[in-house]
Amino acid sequence: MSSEAVAPETARGFSPPTVTQFSVFLSNKVGKLLDLVENFEESPCHICALSVHEASDHAVVRLIANNAQMAKKLLREDGLPFAEHDVLVVELGEGHSLSSMCLSLLGAELNIHFAYPLMVKPNGAATIALAVDDPTLAGQILRRKGFRLFGENDLPTHT
């Protein structure tokens, strides 16, 4: 019997934990971002990461919440147009730097479409949201390199 048995997660086609990111489209008017943020603060659903991309007439707010279903409900109730995208949430730290993460993905010829930090640290270390060409392959590679990946259940229930 070989001591190098195939791990069950590899045999079943491992799928890394992902988190739902919402890209919310707002008109570029004073106070719109405040309205969005306040709606989350008044609910049990909390924003864990936020990135704003502004254009002349609109803004796209990328956000990650600790409860995707509730976030979707809040956005729909507010009548805000949005899109959903699965992203990886990767912990950085000693021996697992931003440059080593990028190098690992480059080795597999995976493109990083965008990345931004989380405002919360699920494990006390710097954490980054990452959108890539192939999240499954990227997750497998990063796990093999010793990076820790988080799913929605790992995000704090309070901020």
Asked whether residue 66 falls in the same domain as residue 90, the answer is no
Q: What is the mean pLDDT of each run of 10 residues along the chain (159 residues)?
A: 41 77 92 92 92 89 96 95 96 92 94 94 88 94 94 80
| Domain assignment of residue 9, yes or no | no
Q: What domain range includes position 81?
A: 19-85
Asked whether residue 92 falls in the same domain as residue 81, the answer is no
**CB under 8 Å to 43, separation ≥6 — which residues?**
70, 74
**CB under 8 Å to 63, separation ≥6 — which residues?**
21, 22, 24, 47, 49, 50, 51, 71
Asked whether residue 57 falls in the same domain as residue 90, the answer is no
**What per-residue confidence (pLDDT) applies to 31?**
87
**What per-residue confidence (pLDDT) applies to 10?**
44
Q: What is the helix (H) or strand (E) element at residue 88, kind and residue range? A: strand 82-91
Inter-residue contact 43 to 74 (CB < 8 Å): yes
The whole-model pTM stands at 0.84
**What per-residue confidence (pLDDT) applies to 159?**
54
